[in-house]
Structures are given as structure tokens and as C-alpha cells.
A = this chain, B = another copy of it.
Amino acid sequence: MLTMLMTSTTSSGEIPLEARTLAERVFQQLQDAIVRGELPAGSKITEPGLAQAYGISRGPLREAMRRLEAHRLIEREPHVGARVVKLSMRELLELFDMREALESMAARLAARHMTVEEVQALRDVLVAHEEQGDLDQAEAYYQREGDLDFHYLIVRGSHNRMLMTTLCDDLYYLVRLYRTQYSARGGRPQRAFIEHHRIVDAIASGDEELAEQLMRRHVIAARQTVAERYAMSLDDDRELPGGNRKALSRRPPSV
């Protein structure tokens, strides 16, 4: 399963199987718990509670929280407390704008720098997606993770460390958080597959301009899907006042 690519790729790129320090370990655990929805978006975090839950003292915990804060996964207010970040629709769309800018640049750099082995790995991921997609539509969640693997590999293919850390260590965690927050999984997969293939082809042929442009459109399309569905959900609410809010999670967007 390629999904393990997702687990924290620090700037140096290695995957720390066992964190050297408590603060490091609890940081990763909290990051995971937030992204997986164990700590719900918007829920309040109390230091004594977490410290007891993870069996550590407040010192390392606070350091971990400071890192989470810098990664925008929690929000703190001095002397008051911290809570898990809750993405508003506006912030989610802002996130897509940033992805458009950074991932299109990543695709351009990937077309310039990726090795043949890296391109092949990318193709393998695509094939894995499609086979999995055929298998079972209910497994859409893993497919979604796999989709991020695709973007992940392209970012790494840019060979730009700063871009990698910004996207992989910061933005992508927020993207995953959005999925759990809005119960968003799967969606427009067939179209996304086609787009993915075209992007890989552009990268493989070293066409920087095309790779950038295709990735840009790919992200824009995903953004638009989110925006449209949000507007639809508002209409639904108007028709069914005070009720059914499931529209947001019914047909979630891709990528």
C-alpha cells in the first residue's frame, strides 16, 4: 500500500520510525489524531487532559502543541486554551488557491527534474489507483489517500525541498483535515484519472509549460467542484429549513 508515503516526510525525507523524543512522538500522534478526526475540528484541547491521555508531562506536550500551532492544525489563545482548527468554506477555498500556485509550480519543476525511475513510480501509483477504484467504490477513502500519494510524488519530483515541506508537511495535512471535517471522500474519479494521466505524460515528456498548466486546471477544477457543492448545499438548506445538512458529504469532490 502506497499510503505510507503520507506519514510525515520531514525536510530530510526520512521516515522516523521511532521518534527520538517524547515531544516529537506526541506531535506526530496528535497530528494523526487531528487529521483522522479523533480530535474533532473545533474541539477544545486541554493540556492536563492530553498529558494524561498520552502519559507524558505537560512540558513536551506544550512543545508539540507549539509545533502544531505553527503548522496551523490548532489555534491558541494566550491564557485561554487551544482548539483544533476548523476550516471555514472560505479558508478551504483559500487553501485551493495556494495549492494551485504551489502544485502547478511543482509540476513544472517535476517536468524539469524528475528521473525516469521517479516517473515510473508515478505511473505505478496511477495504475494502483485505477485497480483499486474498480475493486470497490466503498474503498474510496483509501483511494483518496492514494490520490494524495499521486500529488505527493509529483511534489517530491520537483526536487525542491522548500516546496516539499510546505506542501507535504503543512498544506496536505490541512487537505486531509478537510476531508474528515466534511466527510469528503471520492468524487469525480474517472475525470480525475484522465487528468492525472495527462499530467504524468506531460511530465514524462519534459513539457514544463503543459505540466504546469494541466496541474493548475486540475486543482482549479477540484476547487470549483467544492465551491459548487457548497452553493448547492446552501440551496438545499433553504428548501429544507433547519434540516438535512448532509448535502456537503453526499458527493464529495476529488483532489
Residues of A bordering B, CB below 8 Å: 20-21, 23-24, 59, 62-63, 66-67, 69-72, 78-79, 91, 94-95, 97-98, 100-102, 104-105, 109, 160-163, 165-166, 170
Contact = CB atoms under 8 A, between A and B. Distances in A.
Which are the 10 A-B pairs with shortest beta-carbon distances?
A70-B70, A101-B105, A20-B78, A66-B66, A101-B101, A94-B162, A94-B160, A63-B66, A21-B78, A67-B70
B94 A163 contact: yes
Contacts of A166: 98, 166, 170
Contacts of A21: 78-79
A162 B101 contact: no
A94 B102 CA distance: 12
**Copies of the polypeptide in the assembly:** 2
Nearest to A70: B70
B91 A102 contact: no
Contacts of A100: 105
A216 to B, nearest CB: 10
Contact of A66 (B67, B94, B95): B67
Nearest to A96: B162
Contacts of A20: 78-79
A105 B101 CA distance: 6
Contacts of A72: 162, 165
